[in-house]
Chain A
Amino acid sequence: MPRHAVERLGTVTHLSILDETGAVDKALEPDIPETDLLEMHRAMLYGRCFDERMLKLQRQGRIGTFAPIKGQEAAQIGAAAHLRPSDWLVPSFREIAAQIWRGAKPRDIWLFAAGYNEGVAIPEDARDLPLCVPVATQLLHAAGVAYATKYRGEDDIVMTFHGDGATSEGDFHEALNFSGVLDLPVVFVCQNNQWAISLPLAKQTRSKTIAQKAVAYGIPGLRVDGNDILAVWVAAKEAVDRARNEQIPTLLECVTYRMEVHTTADDPTRYRTEDDVAPWRKRDPISRFETYLKAKGLIDDKTLKGMRETFRDALKHDWQETQERIEELDAGDPMGIFDALYAQDYPHITEQKAYFRERLKRERAHG
């Protein structure tokens, strides 16, 4: 009869293994094969170099708006590292490192960023959905994909990414709820980078953590230092294994920071100061991982320098290839704008296509 506490609703843990100085908690340190450690490091560093290069291309006017990932490499690679090729990746719009990890080609990413539909070139055997701009909408797709997987009795899982801002949209809550109610093999990776354009987390939610939102939906919520690749790896493994083996969804909050502009159309000096950003520079996910790998004797400054140089050359080559492709596309005809709307053509589209072809001649003759 009297008022009493209901059963314990769940706990949210915070996991950190490799701190910002590069010191490791030996008791929690995962046993990751050296080759895997190096592969993850390589992907993070490559992601960083790719991002820097992309920012330059944008500033030179060669590509359009995009969302930089700087500072969020560990959250993406530590999570995506557990995916098998047959698992699904359902990204939002700030996961370039994860997409490259899964096999996306620099040329395609850049073609897309340069405004060509041809940049969306998902191979037939890839289970990667395209970048998704409308915030949080992709999360329900992830749940639906997971349902189909489970329905067919397959043990593939779905990993989907979203931001802290996305947790305010209804779609986020619906996705968590559906996944919980239907026991779906999906992992929601929240890159809590503290900002949604100009809105700081404190104005986005009164919740102390994002992970705790999982509790309301009756599913596990984990919180990790998202700049700590080891912690992300461990937590994501737990979530992926649980999804695969027990069909239990997880909300995995990676606490990280958006070091760069929101997108290249944004001016963060309007809403945050260097004082806000400075502490996070010391928490860089790559440098602490490198300290760790150096201590293990797996890399040294010379290898790092060599890697950066190799990446720089490769990216230069990739951009050249992209430019050639752009020139080729520009020289060709743009009739493709009518493609892929439906599985078949309809008379009104065929008619408009013919009209457009004539218009092209006229516009081109006119200069």
Chain B
Amino acid sequence: MAELTMIQAVNLAMREALAEDDAVILLGQDVGVDGGIFRATQGLIEDFGAARVLDTPLAEAGIIGMAVGMALNGMKPVAEMQFSGFSYQAFHQIENHVARFRWRTNGRFSVPMVIRMPYGAGVRALEHHSESREAYWAHTPGLKLVIPSGPIKARALLAAAIRDPDPVIFYEPKALYRAFKEDVPDVAEPIKIGKADVVRVGKDLTLIAYGAMLPRAVDAATKLAGDGIEAEVIDLMTISPLDEETIIQSVKKTGRAVVVHEASRSFGVGAELCARINDKAFFHLEAPVKRVTGYDIHPPFFAREQHYLPSVLRIYDEARETLTI
């Protein structure tokens, strides 16, 4: 058991994967000597060598394209994009190839790999360092999208992602990198990709969140409990493929749902959840499903980024409103 921040837990998962499987290789900008700009790979080049912890030239398309080739030839690349805002330089490699290799070769080839990237606002960064555009990846068939919400889950989910036979986008909420510590077990308790987690049981409504919004949803639930309202909180963990069963079961029980994400509102994960709930639990609904999300704008420069992000109070207010119907 060790008290770790989320970034340390991410580091631990990669260390364990490198130790466990010779096919695993890390690659990205500054991941070696520097240990990664967020220190996710700190100490790994020292212990596993420069051939397995590869400092690459400054080219995202190069990193992902190389990773595709490596994966085609038996390796398990774990690629780092320095910020999700620079993953678009590799968009064509991800959409054209990472997401499709299994399908376009009728299963002959596959490209199991993990693409890690920090996303989200709240760390007072420059433009292109604060967006939350998970919908791009979730919208792409053939990709899996995993978003941890804390150290224990980050470690277990990253381990699962690296073992997964298909490519996984591992979207790391950078605002949580050092936000809190958890006791991370010596041996990871496995978490399946494709499963959501009911982090709080309640009967009055269902709050669905993930990543950096999960702690805020939990805080809102605590505040609601002060009013005698019992919110069930679901941490999606895997955005795609979605764990519909857990969500539908919960909504059938509570009859009310509020989806929380920091990504902008339109065409986002919240919209998909609303649709699924409509499809599968419509007659159990007591109120329309609500979305508490970022606005349909780019996150403002950092002096005003908190205005953009859903606050605990806003989640609480919206949940209360759902209950008045």
Taking a contact as CB atoms under 8 Å apart, the answer to whether B57 and A266 are in contact is no
B34 at the interface (CB under 8 A from A): yes
Query: In whole angstroms, how far apart are the Cα atoms of A329 and B307 in the complex?
Result: 14
A275 at the interface (CB under 8 A from B): no
Chain B's nearest CB lies how many Å from the CB of A253?
16
Query: In whole angstroms, how far apart are the Cα atoms of A366 and B311 in the complex?
Result: 12
Taking a contact as CB atoms under 8 Å apart, the answer to whether A199 and B296 are in contact is no
Query: In whole angstroms, how far apart are the Cα atoms of A65 and B129 in the complex?
Result: 11
B86 at the interface (CB under 8 A from A): yes
Nearest residue, chain A, Cβ from B265: A352
Contact of B314 among A114, A133, A171, A359 (CB under 8 A): A359
Grouping DSSP codes into helix (H, G, I), strand (E, B) and loop, the B interface class, with mixed when no group exceeds half, is loop
Query: In whole angstroms, how far apart are the Cα atoms of A214 and B265 in the complex?
Result: 45
A26 at the interface (CB under 8 A from B): no
Given contacts A168-B58, A198-B33, contact A356 B295 (CB under 8 A): yes
Query: In whole angstroms, how far apart are the Cα atoms of A334 and B305 in the complex?
Result: 10
Taking a contact as CB atoms under 8 Å apart, the answer to whether B313 and A366 are in contact is yes
A112 at the interface (CB under 8 A from B): yes
- Cβ contacts under 8 Å, B29 to chain A: 196-197, 199
Taking a contact as CB atoms under 8 Å apart, the answer to whether A270 and B34 are in contact is yes
- Cβ contacts under 8 Å, A363 to chain B: 311, 313-314
A170 at the interface (CB under 8 A from B): yes
Digitize A107-137: 1 where CB-to-B-CB distance is under 8 Å, 0 elsewhere: 0000010111101000000000000011100
Digitize B82-108: 1 where CB-to-A-CB distance is under 8 Å, 0 elsewhere: 000110110000000000000000000
Taking a contact as CB atoms under 8 Å apart, the answer to whether B58 and A166 are in contact is yes
B61 at the interface (CB under 8 A from A): yes
Stretch at the interface among B119-127, B146-154, B240-248: B119-127
Digitize B43-72: 1 where CB-to-A-CB distance is under 8 Å, 0 elsewhere: 000000000000101111110000000000
Query: In whole angstroms, how far apart are the Cα atoms of A271 and B41 in the complex?
Result: 14
Given contacts A117-B301, A271-B34, A362-B317, contact A337 B308 (CB under 8 A): yes
Given contacts A64-B302, A270-B35, contact A199 B55 (CB under 8 A): yes
- Cβ contacts under 8 Å, B311 to chain A: 363
Contact of B57 among A205, A352, A360 (CB under 8 A): A205
Residues of A308-355 whose CB lies within 8 A of B = 326, 329-330, 334, 337-338, 341, 348-349, 352
- Cβ contacts under 8 Å, A205 to chain B: 57
Taking a contact as CB atoms under 8 Å apart, the answer to whether B55 and A203 are in contact is yes
Contact of A341 among B128, B298, B303, B308 (CB under 8 A): B298
Taking a contact as CB atoms under 8 Å apart, the answer to whether A334 and B126 are in contact is no
Bin chain B's interface residue count. 35 or more
- Cβ contacts under 8 Å, A114 to chain B: 303
A149 at the interface (CB under 8 A from B): no
Query: In whole angstroms, how far apart are the Cα atoms of A270 and B308 in the complex?
Result: 35
Taking a contact as CB atoms under 8 Å apart, the answer to whether A64 and B126 are in contact is yes
Taking a contact as CB atoms under 8 Å apart, the answer to whether A199 and B303 are in contact is no
Chain B's nearest CB lies how many Å from the CB of A57?
14
A169 at the interface (CB under 8 A from B): yes
- Cβ contacts under 8 Å, B199 to chain A: none
Taking a contact as CB atoms under 8 Å apart, the answer to whether B30 and A199 are in contact is yes
B1 at the interface (CB under 8 A from A): no
Taking a contact as CB atoms under 8 Å apart, the answer to whether A134 and B33 are in contact is no
Residues of B281-323 whose CB lies within 8 A of A = 295-298, 300-305, 307-308, 311, 313-314, 317
Nearest residue, chain B, Cβ from A270: B34
Query: In whole angstroms, how far apart are the Cα atoms of A171 and B35 in the complex?
Result: 26
Digitize B16-33: 1 where CB-to-A-CB distance is under 8 Å, 0 elsewhere: 000000000000011011
Nearest residue, chain B, Cβ from A203: B55
Nearest residue, chain A, Cβ from B128: A133
Query: In whole angstroms, how far apart are the Cα atoms of A135 and B60 in the complex?
Result: 10
Taking a contact as CB atoms under 8 Å apart, the answer to whether B303 and A116 are in contact is yes
Taking a contact as CB atoms under 8 Å apart, the answer to whether B300 and A337 are in contact is yes
B37 at the interface (CB under 8 A from A): yes
Query: In whole angstroms, how far apart are the Cα atoms of A164 and B298 in the complex?
Result: 29
Query: Which 6 residue pairs are nearest across A and B when measured between Cβ atoms?
Result: A198-B34, A115-B303, A115-B302, A168-B57, A165-B58, A337-B300
User: Can you show 13 pairs from A to B with CB atoms below 8 A apart?
Assistant: A115-B302, A115-B304, A117-B304, A197-B30, A198-B32, A199-B30, A199-B55, A265-B37, A334-B304, A337-B297, A338-B295, A362-B317, A363-B313
A-side residues, CB < 8 A to B, are: 64-65, 93, 112, 114-117, 119, 133-135, 165-166, 168-171, 196-199, 203-205, 265-266, 270-271, 326, 329-330, 334, 337-338, 341, 348-349, 352, 356, 359-360, 362-363, 366
B-side residues, CB < 8 A to A, are: 29-30, 32-35, 37, 55, 57-62, 85-86, 88-89, 124-129, 265-266, 295-298, 300-305, 307-308, 311, 313-314, 317
Instruction: List 8 extra interface pairs beyond A168-B58, A198-B32, CB under 8 A.
Output: A64-B302, A65-B125, A115-B304, A134-B88, A169-B89, A198-B34, A199-B55, A341-B297
